[in-house]
Amino acid sequence: MKQDSDLRNNLKSIRTRLGMSQQDLANLAGVTRQTISGVESGQYAPSVTITLRLAKALGCQVEHLFWLEQDLPEIEAVLAKSVPSGQQLRVSLARVGGEWIAYPLIGKDAFRQDMIPADGEGEKQTNTDKLRVRLLDENIDTLYNTVVIAGCSPVISLWARATERWHPQLRVQYNFANSMAALHSLCRGEAHIAGMHLYDPISGEYNIPFVREVLAGREAVLITLGVWEEGLMVQPGNPKGIRTLTDLVQMKATIVNREVGSGSRLLLEQTLEKEQLPSHALQGFEQIITSHQDVAGAIASGIADAGISTASVAAAFGLGFIPLRQSRYDLVILKEYLEEAPVQQLLSTLGHRLVHSQLEILGGYDISKIGEVVATV
C-alpha cells in the first residue's frame, strides 16, 4: 500500500527495545524485511492483516503501534525558560505541582551527549509564558511518571540512570543548573528536586540557610546525596606545583571560574577571602565556564591552568587535584511532592546497592550518609 502521510508509528522503537532486528520481526510476522523497513520509515502503510500480524509479533495492541497525526493530543504547558515569540520549539515535558511544565530543548539544553528526544512541539506566543504543545506520542504515562531534578552534580545522572534500570516505567529528567539556580527552579515550580552544595560561613551550615531564604516559609526537606571533595583542578601531575590560590597569583597562572550562584564560585570567593587576595589578582577570574565538565575540559585542553571542581571530576579527566574542603551535596524537596509515587520511587533507590556501586567507584565522594534527612525547613 502506498504511503499515508497522516499515519504515524513507533514500530522501530518497540522492535529495538525488544532486541529484534528487522529480519527477526519480518520472520515472526510473516512478511519481508523490506516491508518492515518501509513501514518504519513511513514510506509504506500496511494493510489491516499486516498491522495485526505486527501487533501480535510484538505483543502489543495495534493502537500502540500506529496512530493518525491529527489524533495526537495537545496540552497547555508553562514554559520553564523565556524564549523569543514565534519560535517553533522542541520541548520536554513533566507534571510538577499539578501543572504541565515545558522545558525548551535549545542549545546545550538539547544535549547531554546525544541529542535529547522531544516529548512535543509548540510555538511560543506573544505576551504569555504558556505554550500549546502537540504531543509526539499519544501515550502520556511516561510524562506523568517523570521526576525533574535541577542540579549541577554529575552524580545525579548516575543516580538517575541506575534508578531507571530498577524502575523502567520511571523517567528522571535532569536539568543542569547551579545550586542557586536549582533552588529558584524548585521555588518556581519547575522541578520536584533541587540539588545544591553551598556553604554559609556565618552559620557554618551547608545549604540550609540558603533554602530558608529562598523558599521563604515553604516546607521542604533536605536529604543528603553525599559529601564530595572540592578543590583546585590542575594540569595532570601538577607540573607547576600549585598548592594555594596565592601560588596561582604569584605564578601568574590562569583559571576559569563558574557563574554567580554556583557552589564552585562561592568556594573560590571564600578561599580568596581566607587567603586575603582580591579577585582581580587572579588571572581569569572573569572567564566564566558553566559546568564542572567544561571547567575540567578547559584545563585538560590547556586553556587554563586551574579551576574549582570536585575530586571525582578531576579523576574522570585525569587531572591533578588539590583539596580545599569537603562539601555536603543535598537534595531539596518540597513536602508537597514527597507523597507523589514517582518521587517516592526515585528516593527509595538511594538505599539501593545498584546506586551505591555507581557512586562508590567515582573517588572523592563519600556516600556513608546517603539518604539521610539532614533538615526540615
The residues, ordered by sequence, that sit 6+ positions from 102 with a Cβ below 8 Å of its Cβ are 77, 78, 79, 80, 89, 91, 92, 93, 120, 122, 131, 133
What pLDDT sits at residue 7? Answer: 77
Contact 377, 211 (CB under 8 A): yes
* Domain limits, the chain: 7-69, 72-139, 145-377
What pLDDT sits at residue 19? Answer: 82
**Which neighbouring-strand residues pair with 66?**
9
What pLDDT sits at residue 246? Answer: 93
Phi, psi (degrees; rounded to nearest 5) at 192: -85, -30
3-state secondary structure of 47: coil
Distance CA 184, CA 191 (A): 9
What pLDDT sits at residue 107? Answer: 67
Tell me if the pTM is above 0.75: no
Q: Shortest CA distance to 217 belongs to which of 187, 260, 243?
A: 187
The grid coordinates listed for 154 are 554529575
What pLDDT sits at residue 232? Answer: 94
Q: 72-139: which CATH number, 2.40.340.10, 1.10.10.10, 3.50.50.60, 1.10.287.3510?
A: 2.40.340.10
The grid coordinates listed for 91 are 520541548
Distance CA 64, CA 75 (A): 20
At the topology level of CATH, where does 145-377 sit?
A: D-Maltodextrin-Binding Protein; domain 2 (3.40.190)
**First-to-last C-alpha distance (Å) of the chain:** 63
3-state secondary structure of 287: coil
Distance CA 92, CA 90 (A): 7
Tens-binned pLDDT, residue by residue, of the chain (377 aa)? 445 556 777 788 778 777 889 999 999 999 999 999 888 888 888 888 998 999 888 887 787 777 776 656 677 888 888 877 766 777 888 888 888 888 887 766 655 556 778 888 888 777 788 888 888 876 677 888 899 999 988 888 889 888 888 888 899 998 889 999 999 999 999 999 999 999 898 998 999 999 999 998 899 999 999 998 999 999 999 998 999 999 999 999 999 999 898 889 999 999 999 999 998 999 999 989 888 888 999 999 999 999 999 898 888 888 999 999 999 999 999 999 998 989 999 999 998 887 888 788 777 888 899 999 999 98
Write a three-state SS string for 71-134: HCCEEEEEECCCCCCCCEEEEEEEEECCEEEEEECCHHHHECCCECCCCEEEECCCCCCEEEEE
Contact 190, 336 (CB under 8 A): no
Helix count (H) and strand count (E) of the chain?
15, 18
Sign of the CA dihedral running 347, 350, 355, 358: positive
Q: Shortest CA distance to 359 belongs to which of 350, 373, 1, 233?
A: 350
The grid coordinates listed for 357 are 556501586
* CATH number, domain 7-69: 1.10.260.40
**Which neighbouring-strand residues pair with 131?**
77
